Amino acid sequence: MEYLLITIILRIIYQFNLFLLNAVVLLKKFKRGKKVVTADNFPDSKKMTVLFRMEPGSLGPDGAQYISEFCEFAQMQLRACSDAHIHWVIVPRTDKSLAEMEFQLSSKKLTSAKAGQYLAVFGQNFDDFEEQLEDNLEAIVNQYFGR
């Protein structure tokens, strides 16, 4: 019971910290007179969907027990702190023949090169994007298990 309570409290704290971080970034842009683009005013049809298939084994030997709940949690965390032009979909990786990461725009699959071009429009580098995702997922795993 204590573990569950601590986990819930940590999730709330983490969400609040993400909210504050996003608020600071938006305030800085607003002060500079830049148009603030948020997930609310960026059209869904122009968002790139990033489908990430999470390996149950990355959660440890008992990962299969937690993977579905973890994917929901990770998706919520990534959506809370991501750029307005990205739509996250995190699912368990049950079929190893499918790619770990897939990109789509307007329901059409994109190659990694095309995804990189899309990110470049927003001043992002594809390799940095992948590295940031790995770092974020590692932090989310640690947060999920209360480490």
The pLDDT tens digits for 80-127 are 888 888 999 999 999 999 999 999 999 899 999 999 999 999 889 999
User: Can you read off the two tokens belonging to residue 31?
Assistant: 């002060």
Q: Which domain holds residue 7?
A: 2-144
Q: Indicate the average pLDDT of the chain.
A: 83
Cα distance between residue 30 and residue 47, in whole Å: 22
Query: What's the rounded Cα separation, in Å, for the pair 136 and 127?
Result: 14
CA dist 19 → 15, 26, 62, 75, 108 (Å): 6, 11, 31, 15, 31
Split into its structural domains, the chain has a count of 1
Confidence band (pLDDT; 50, 70, 90) for 21? low
What does the pLDDT read at residue 33? 61
Task: State the pLDDT at residue 1.
Answer: 65
Check pLDDT > 90 for residue 67: yes
Instruction: Tell me which residue of 80, 72, 39 sits closest to 54, measured CA to CA.
Output: 72
Tokens of 125: 């580098």
Q: State percent of the chain over pLDDT 70.
A: 73
Is 141:58 a contact under the CB 8 Å cutoff? yes
